[in-house]
Amino acid sequence: QSALTQPASVSGSPGQSITISCTGTSSDVGGYNYVSWYQQHPGKAPKLMIYEVSNRPSGVPDRFSGSKSGNTASLTISGLQAEDEADYYCSSYTSSSTLAFGGGTKLTVL
Amino acid sequence: QVQLVQSGAEVKKPGASVKVSCKASGYTFTSYGISWVRQAPGQGLEWMGWISAYNGNTNYAQKLQGRVTMTTDTSTSTAYMELRSLRSDDTAVYYCARGIGLRPFDYWGQGTLVTVSS
């Protein structure tokens, strides 16, 4: 069982927006602004998409955005594109000085 | 450019040990830590632990305590992860990533498949 809870799957049509949630506790997501989001295509290594809740690394399209409210963080992808179809994982620093991952969300672009 | 290049695939018998390497280039090795993450077939990401390349301090996931050791060789900018007493459920792709603690994992290795089978 993962420490952070994500929906198993979400879907959307090209051009639409989707949001993936990541729910933890006050000991991780709610207690720190150190939530990251990773994109993973099949057979590939994960790629950092969002860090510190809402910051985008250089090269990540601004269609990707992150936010947090209480113990739940969210990743929003606007203007969905076919290449966005992938697995997405959230992670959070924890009060035990460790890292927790979510179970992952499979995004399907219809 | 920053690169993390991992060692090749391994096949091990239950009870054996495996040591995976991760050679860094393109940045000052001691300015960042290295984390290790594994992914069992068809499953999600699991954080294993991290090591500071500056002072060698480590922090391991509780479930792996006693079986895992992470080290670095600053002379070759290489990080290592050794896992002992291997079981079938240790079969996974093992990734190294740059970043520990509050820093995100901004660069990842290509992954190393470790298969544990009798």
Amino acid at B86: L
Sorting pLDDT into bands at 50, 70 and 90, what band is A1? low
Q: Each residue of A46-57: pLDDT tens digit?
A: 999 999 999 999
Give the per-residue pLDDT at B33. Answer: 95
How far apart are alpha carbons A11 and A66 in whole angstroms?
18
* Predicted pLDDT at A51: 98
Reading the block at residue A78, the tokens are 């606007």
Distance, in angstroms, between A14 CA and closest chain B CA? 26
- Coil/strand/helix, residue A29: helix
Scanning every residue of chain A, which has its alpha carbon at the shortest distance from the alpha carbon of B48? A99
Q: Does residue A32 carry a pLDDT above 90? A: yes
Residues of chain B with pLDDT > 70: what percent? Answer: 100
Tell me which chain B residues have a C-beta less than 8 angstroms from the C-beta of A104.
44-45
Query: Could you count the other beta carbons within 10 Å of the beta carbon of residue B67?
Result: 15
Query: CB contact, 8 Å: A66 with chain B?
Result: no
Q: Check residue B78 and give its pLDDT.
A: 98
Q: Which of A99, A101, A105, A106 has the highest number of chain B CBs within 10 A, making it the mutation to test binding with B? A: A99
pLDDT at A3: 84
Whether chain A has a CB inside 8 Å of the CB on B57: the answer is: no
For residues B99 and B108, the answer to whether their CB atoms sit within 8 Å is no
Residue B1 touches partner A, C-beta closer than 8 Å: no
pLDDT for residue B55: 94
Q: What is the pLDDT of residue A2?
A: 60
Among B44, B102, B110, the residue with its CB nearest the CB of A103 is B44
Whether B102 has its CB under 8 Å from any CB of chain A: the answer is: yes
B82 touches chain A (CB under 8 A): no
Q: Supply B100's token pair.
A: 């520990």
- pLDDT for B111: 98
B-chain residue closest to A103, CA distance: B44
Name the average pLDDT for chain A: 96
Kindly identify which residue of chain A lies nearest to residue B36, measuring between CA atoms.
A99
Is the pLDDT at A41 greater than 70, yes or no?
yes
Contact B62, B8 (CB under 8 A): no
Which tokens sit at A10? 């979400």
**Residues 6 or more apart from A57 whose CB is under 8 A from it?**
A48, A49, A51, B104, B106
Task: Concatenate the DSSP letters of all residues of chain B into one string.
Answer: --EEEE---EEE-TT--EEEEEEEESS-GGGSEEEEEEE-TT--EEEEEEEETTT--EEE-GGGTTTEEEEEETTTTEEEEEE-S--GGG-EEEEEEE--TTS---EE---EEEEE--
pLDDT at B57 over 90: yes
Exposed, middle or buried by CB within 10 Å (0-12, 13-18, 19+), for A58?
A: exposed
Are the beta carbons of A40 and A27 closer than 8 angstroms?
A: no
Q: Do A104 and B45 touch (CB under 8 A)?
A: yes
Give the C-alpha distances (Å, rounded to integers) separating B58 from A65, A69, B64, B70, B71: 32, 31, 13, 7, 8
pLDDT band at residue A97 under the 50/70/90 scheme: very high
Instruction: Give per-residue pLDDT as tens, B65-116.
Output: 999 999 999 999 999 999 999 999 999 999 999 998 889 999 999 999 999 9
Instruction: Please give the average per-residue pLDDT across B28-48, as a whole number.
Output: 97
Q: Is the torsion defined by CA of B65, B91, B117, B51 positive or negative?
A: negative
Instruction: Check CB contact under 8 Å for B106 and A38.
Output: no
